[in-house]
Amino acid sequence: MPVAMLILGGIIGTFAGTLLAGGMAAVAGLPLYGPAQNIAAALIALGPAGIVPQVVHPIETLFGAGLGVLVATIFFYVGAVVSGAGAGEFFSRGALIGLASSTNTVVMLAIPPLAPIAPIVFIITVLAVIPPIAANRFYQRVLGLLGWILPLNYLMLPLGILLFLVSAPFALAMGGSVRFDFLTLSIETAGGAILSLASTSFNIGNFTFFPPTLPTSSFTTGFSAHETGHTLSNAAFGGFFYWIGAVDENVPPLVRGGAAYAELLAESHFSTPGMGVSGGPFIPMW
């Protein structure tokens, strides 16, 4: 039952993402490479998609289409939250994965250097709907690697790159550390004057950061494992999911902290039965 609901959600999410991202490409006049160009042509043939470019600036169109993906992500995220444990959460989780996978794929099909690998990337990312695959350590390495090129990750990854470039020299100069996690292909920075402003560890795309007051641990235990769990979630669910989870965790009137849905998924990374990897509750996935 859980796997069936995850797969069903993945199918629905893939369909929604393909329509939203394909429509975005069509009305903005973005060329798609490979068989996907037929999807764009079909959407344009519907009528409104062929009219919109004549009256709306392509940048505004792209913004509007991206807003559609954001709204869909919020809808499925809220669905997972209100469902709690059970079929509703599985369906919503699968839909989030399908939505991100198809959106990433369509965007990659509009970028010539990435177009040839876009179908392969779709298959890899959408496989996260199957629990044994999502929990597989080799699969997680591949998913973490893809996080560096997935278009939706670039809704937050540049911020992670910038903070790393600024904080890493200070961390190393002040006895901190910079480590590379081969389990998720991510980079962890700890300590330094800049990161001392943080009260706890945090993640931005394929980068994790620790204040000097919170010691790092093995990448398979504690907060280090938790933060790299976010790296995997970012790749599977996309940048919109990342920011929605940040709001769920930190912004009033929510401020749900470790009970935020995105946190519960990340906490499952290297978790043990009955206890999350850093000691909190979790939803089994990674």
Domain boundaries defined on the chain:
2-128, 157-266
**Which of 31-40, 212-221, 223-232 has the least mean pLDDT?**
31-40
Give the pLDDT of residue 38: 54
Per-position b or e across 189-198, b if 16+ CB within 10 A of its CB: bbbbebbbee
Q: Name the average pLDDT for the chain.
A: 87
pTM metric for this prediction: 0.86
pLDDT tens profile 146-182: 999 999 999 999 999 999 999 999 999 999 999 999 9
73 touches 240 (CB < 8 A): yes
Residues with Cβ within 8 Å of residue 92, at least 6 apart in sequence: 9, 76, 77, 79, 80, 83
**Which of 54-63, 141-150, 215-224, 244-253 has the least mean pLDDT?**
54-63
